[in-house]
Homo-oligomer: A and B are copies of this chain.
Amino acid sequence: MSLKGACIIGQSGGPTSVINASAYGAIKTALDSEEIAKVYGALNGIKGVLDDNLIDMGAEDPEELALMKYTPSSALGSCRYKLKDAEDDETDYKRILEIFKKYDVRYFFYNGGNDSMDTCNKISKYMLKNGYECRVMGIPKTIDNDLAGTDHCPGYGSAAKYIATSVMEVYHDARVYDTGMITIIEAMGRNAGWLTASAALANIGGNGPDLIYLPEIPFDMDTFFKDVEDIYAKQKKCIVVVSEGIKDKDGKYISEYGSNLAQTKDNFGHSQLGGLAAYLANVVKERTGAKVRGIELSLLQRCAAHCASQTDIEESFAAGAAAVSNAIAGVTDKMAGFERTVENGAYKCNVKLFDLSIVANTEKKVPREWINEKGNGLNQQFIDYALPLIQGETQMKKENSLPRFVKLKKVKAQ
């Protein structure tokens, strides 16, 4: 089973507060191992492999490197590069194999979301087909929490904690005046409502939103107006949290209703959304005459490492570490995800391996039974699921009372 050689670690897709905790878990475990001779970081994910743009992780100062655990975003750089199917175009795969051979790479770890697991899967299949022994493992990350199989995704707990905390704070801000006020907060989540749902955690202490709309439920503008107006009439305040990805019954994004919103598509054909909060704030203002404020949580929700969940940080680290230790033990073609057990009433999270082919390109949605009957809020089942994931405060290092993020030397691989 023993396989000696180098490894490459790459990061892909949109960053999170804790994706570097996972990468660091993998890098540290690889550096500490006997089987893995050299640990390379691919700059900007698979593009770094294609461009022979690798850095030597062993050349970094270990103390500095450890700061990766608390640094948001992808310290190695990311990409949204989609590998074609090898049957259609083998060019990229040949190049990857060439680089793997050049550096004697026998382990490939890819840290990303659905699309990244797809990349892992394709590379693994190609290497197997071409008789090049290489163990390929996926390390999940996504604030969207939409990967199939795993109980939850590294990155989600931290984003959820930031969203719940921010909504609680806005709740207090939005009711200081005795005049009416409607606040519409937009969270990320293209097709799955996990991030938006996390605002429901703010309700535990009674500082939460009145209405939550997820993309899982078709959004009806008239029902929405009625929901808001009913609450506003009663309490003169209404806090709404909406997912950027809410769609009407015909599948049209509500954010596309606003004519002045430019829509573009990324390399995977995903629409780039945004501006929904401003759009809904405008229409609600016109309709009700109330003071309405739209707030877009924007990038902050995926990079607010200062408000990360320490549980999420430790689990993310563990996923990265487990990917490497399992690969060394002979495992390949798996993603290191999580399963949850409850022991004596307490949440416990264990790393569990999932087939890449199951994970790739499948999206996990919020179950209908966790959403209230009206489709405008979450119930206790969601709270029970999400609350353990946001526990603990980040142990981030500070300098001048500001975050001290990692600074890598990025020594080019020879």
A168–B391 CA distance with the chains assembled, in angstroms: 24
Query: Are B405 and A390 closer than 8 Å at their CB atoms?
Result: no
Determine which of B206, B300, B392, B393 lies in contact with A166 in the assembled complex, contact meaning CB atoms within 8 Å: B300
Residue from B79, B303, B393 within 8 A of A172 (CB atoms): B303
- Decide: A47 and B178 in contact? CB cutoff 8 A: yes
The chain B residue with its CB closest to the CB of A12 is B176
Interface residues of A in 188-231 (CB under 8 A from B): 201-202, 204-207
**Given contacts A73-B176, A177-B78, is CB(A168)–CB(B390) below 8 Å?**
no
Contact A399 B205 (CB under 8 A): yes
Known: A47-B178, A293-B299, A393-B398. A73 touches B403 (CB 8 A): no
Nearest Cβ on chain B to A70's Cβ, whole angstroms: 11
Q: How far is the CB of A81 from chain B (nearest CB, A)?
A: 10
Decide: B303 and A169 in contact? CB cutoff 8 A.
yes
How many residues belonging to A are interface residues under a CB distance threshold of 8 Å?
A: 67
A360 interfacial by beta-carbon distance below 8 Å: no
Q: How many whole Å from A115's CB to the nearest CB in chain B?
A: 14
Q: Which of A305-313, A316-324, A345-353 makes up part of the contact surface?
A: A305-313
Query: Is residue A3 contacting chain B, with contact meaning CB distance below 8 A?
Result: no
A207 — which chain B residues lie within 8 A by C-beta?
A: 405
Closest to A51 in B: B178
Known: A177-B77, A407-B206. A172 touches B71 (CB 8 A): yes
A202 and B168 alpha carbons, distance in the complex (Å): 26
A305: chain B residues within 8 A (beta carbon): 169
Residues of chain B within 8 A (CB-CB) of A206 are 407
In the bound complex, CA of A303 to CA of B305 (Å): 18
| A336 smallest CB distance to B (angstroms) | 22
List 12 extra interface pairs beyond A44-B178, A73-B175, CB under 8 A. Answer: A47-B178, A73-B172, A172-B303, A172-B405, A173-B302, A173-B303, A205-B403, A275-B278, A278-B278, A295-B299, A307-B307, A393-B398
Could you name 30 residue pairs across A and B whose Cβ atoms are closer than 8 Å?
A: A15-B172, A15-B176, A44-B177, A71-B172, A72-B169, A73-B172, A73-B176, A77-B176, A77-B177, A77-B178, A168-B402, A169-B303, A169-B304, A169-B305, A169-B403, A174-B299, A260-B260, A293-B298, A293-B299, A295-B296, A295-B298, A295-B299, A296-B296, A296-B298, A300-B300, A309-B401, A387-B400, A390-B400, A390-B402, A393-B401
Q: Give me the 5 closest cross-chain CB pairs, A-B, nearest first.
A: A73-B172, A173-B303, A78-B176, A169-B303, A74-B176
